[in-house]
Amino acid sequence: MGGRLKAAVVALSCLVLMAASVSGLAAPANAAGGALTPFYSQRVAWTPCLDAVGSECATVQVPLDYRKPRGPQITIGLLRKTPIDAAAPSLVFNPGGPGGSATSWVESAGSLLLNPASPDITASFNLVGMDPRGVGRSTQLNCVSAEYLAAQSHGLPTSAREQVAYATGIPLNEVCARTNKGLTSNIGTDSVARDLDIVRSALGEAKLNFYGASYGSYLGMMYAHTFPDRVGRLILDGVNAPFPNMTGIAVAQAIGTEQLLRAWADSCDSRGDSCPAGPGKSMSEVLAWFDNLMFILRDNPLEPSIGNAITDRDILALTVELLSAGQGFGFADLDRLLAAAGARDVETVNSFRIAYGLSTADATSVNQAVNCYDRPTSGKAKATVDLDRRLSAPRLAPHFAPLFAPIPATCFHWKVRRGKPNLVVAPTTKAAVLFINGRNDPKTPHRMAETSMRLFPHASLLTWEGFGHVSGTRGNACINDAVAAYLTTGSLPGSANVSCAS
C-alpha cells in the first residue's frame, strides 16, 4: 500500500506478482495433519502491547520450512486494537509491500483502516494485523545496513554505462542468501499464506476474514489458492495480476505513474498559486518546469543539515509516492514538495524525505527477497539499458524510466530459486470475493483487477474513479457502504462491476 516509500528503487516494485505454491511444497492444502498438528493446536494469548497503548499483542510459532515442519521455528507477531467484543470474529489485515508491517498499520490507523464512516465494521470485527515472516514484530529478515540504503540514493543514471553500473551493483539478494539463508530460502508468499492459516486457527476462526491491500491482495489470492475451503470474507484492494516476469510489472507501474504525473500536471492550473510551476500553465509547460527542476537537482543536489544529499532520484521517488497518494492531500503535498525543491528550501524537502522516503533495512530486505523468491528473474545488465530505452519513449514513461527500468535487475543476482519456473495462482474457492481498485491507480492499474477477478467464480469489482493507489481506505461513501454490507452480511454488490465516484 502507499504508506512509506522505500528508499531504494527496488522497493518501487511493491506489487509483487502472482505466484503459487513453490515447487517442492504440497499442492493446495485442505488439512493440517501430521507434523503441523502442534502448530494448529496453538491459541492466541493476547496481552497489552508494551509499545502500543490501546492495543493487544501476541505471537504464534510456525515452521521455518514447511517441507521440514519438525525443524526450526520462527515467530509471527500479531496486534489487535483492544476489542469492543473479544468474542467477535477477527478481520486480519495486510497493508502491502512486501515488507509492510500490518501491526504498525493497525496500531496507527485503528478503525480508520477501513470504512471510517461505517462503525458496523469495528462493532462486528476485531481488527488484527499479522506481520508476515521477515517483517516487524515477526522474525525479521535484515540483510543490509543503513549505509547500504544510503548508497542507493544517488543521482539518476543517465548514460548506458551508469545504467549498467547500477544494474550490476545490487547484491542484496546475495547478501541475504549468505547471512540469512534459512529465512531467505523460505520467505515466499506461499509460506506466508500457510502462516496465515495457522494464525487463523490460533485465533479460533473456522474461516479467514482478510483485507489485503496491494501486495496484500496477492497474499489473499495465494491464501484462496492454498486453502480454498477456509476463505471467509476476502477483500482484495489495489489488485495484482499475472505477468510473465518482473519486467511486466515494471512497465505497468512506470506507465501508470507517468499517466498520473500528466494528470497532476494537467490539473495544476486549477490549484492556482499552489501549482509549483505557477498559475496559468498548460500541462506541457508544467512538465517542462518539472524537467528543469530535475536537471538542476542532478547537478546541484540539496544539502540538508541532517542526512545525505537530496538528489533528483530522491525527488523523483518521492513524486512516485505522492502521486500514489493521489487526489487531495497527495497532489497538494506534491505541489508543496516540488515548490520547496524549486526554492531550494532544503529543510522542508528533507521533512518530506523523512516522512515518506526513508526505509528500514528490514523492509528493504523483505521487499527484495519476496519479490525475487516469488518471481525468479534472470538477465544481464544490458537488459536494464534496453528497458530504460523502451520506457523512455515519449508516450510511455520518459520521466520514470530510470527508476523502474532497474527493477528486474534487482533479481539477477538471486540464487535461491534460480531456474525454477514462475508459478501461477489458480484459486478454486467458491467463496464470494470483493475486489476494489482505482480507475487511475499507478501501481496496480485497473486492468490488473479485471484480470484477477476472472480467477474467481464468485466476485465483484468496486471501481473508485479517483486518482491514487489503493481505494478502500479513502473514506469513499460508496465503497464504505458496499464493504460494510459485504463484511457484515456476505453480500456482494448487485452488479459484478460497480463504479464509485471520487
**pLDDT value for 67:** 94
Pairwise CA distance, residues 48 & 50, whole Å: 6
Task: Quickly state the pLDDT bin for 151 (edges 50, 70, 90).
Answer: low
Note whether 497 and 461 are within 8 A (CB): yes
**pLDDT value for 159:** 66
Instruction: Express each pLDDT in 67-109 by its tens digit.
Output: 999 999 999 999 998 887 889 999 999 999 899 999 998 988 7
Burial of 404 (0-12, 13-18, 19+ CB in 10 A): buried
Which residues does residue 483 pair with via DSSP β-bridges, in sequence order? none
Task: Quickly state the pLDDT bin for 329 (edges 50, 70, 90).
Answer: low
pTM: 0.90
Note whether 234 and 427 are within 8 A (CB): no
Which grid cell is 431? Answer: 467463496
In this prediction, residues 429-450 reach a mean pLDDT of 93
Q: Per mean pLDDT, which range of 87-96, 162-171, 323-332 is the poorest?
A: 162-171
pLDDT over 90, % of the chain? 53
Instruction: Express each pLDDT in 227-246 by its tens digit.
Output: 999 999 999 999 987 666 78
**pLDDT value for 423:** 60
Task: Quickly state the pLDDT bin for 439 (edges 50, 70, 90).
Answer: very high
Pairwise CA distance, residues 346 & 303, whole Å: 7
Using DSSP, state whether 164 is helix, strand or coil.
helix
Note whether 49 and 55 are within 8 A (CB): yes
Contact residues for 364 (Cβ-Cβ < 8 A; gap 6+) = 6, 7, 8, 10, 11, 99, 144, 149, 172
Pairwise CA distance, residues 166 & 468, whole Å: 29
Contact residues for 465 (Cβ-Cβ < 8 A; gap 6+) = 438, 439, 440, 499, 500, 501, 502
Instruction: Express each pLDDT in 246-303 by its tens digit.
Output: 888 889 999 999 999 999 999 988 888 999 999 899 999 999 999 999 999 999 999 9
Q: 16: closest CA among 249, 252, 211?
A: 249
Q: What is the mean pLDDT of the chain?
A: 84
Pairwise CA distance, residues 37 & 50, whole Å: 31
Pairwise CA distance, residues 269 & 450, whole Å: 33
Instruction: Express each pLDDT in 23-68 by its tens digit.
Output: 334 344 444 458 999 999 999 999 999 998 889 999 999 999 999 9
- Enumerate domains of the chain plus CATH numbers: 36-138+181-244+424-500 (3.40.50.1820)
Q: Is the dihedral angle over the CA atoms 171, 177, 183, 186 positive or is it negative?
A: positive
Q: Per mean pLDDT, which range of 140-154, 163-177, 471-485 is the poorest?
A: 163-177
Which grid cell is 474? Answer: 479513502
Which grid cell is 398? Answer: 520518459
**pLDDT value for 164:** 65
Contact residues for 193 (Cβ-Cβ < 8 A; gap 6+) = 219, 222, 223, 225, 226, 227
The one-letter amino acid code at 116 reads P
**pLDDT value for 21:** 33
Annotate 44-96 with DSSP letters as a single string: ---EE-TTSTTEEEEEEEEES-TTSTTS-EEEEEEEEEPPS-TTSPEEEEE--
Pairwise CA distance, residues 502 & 327, whole Å: 9
Note whether 246 and 212 are within 8 A (CB): no
Q: 249: closest CA among 423, 442, 5?
A: 442
Pairwise CA distance, residues 126 & 113, whole Å: 12
Asked whether residue 148 carries a pLDDT value surpassing 70, the answer given is: no
Note whether 286 and 280 are within 8 A (CB): no
In this prediction, residues 388-394 reach a mean pLDDT of 94
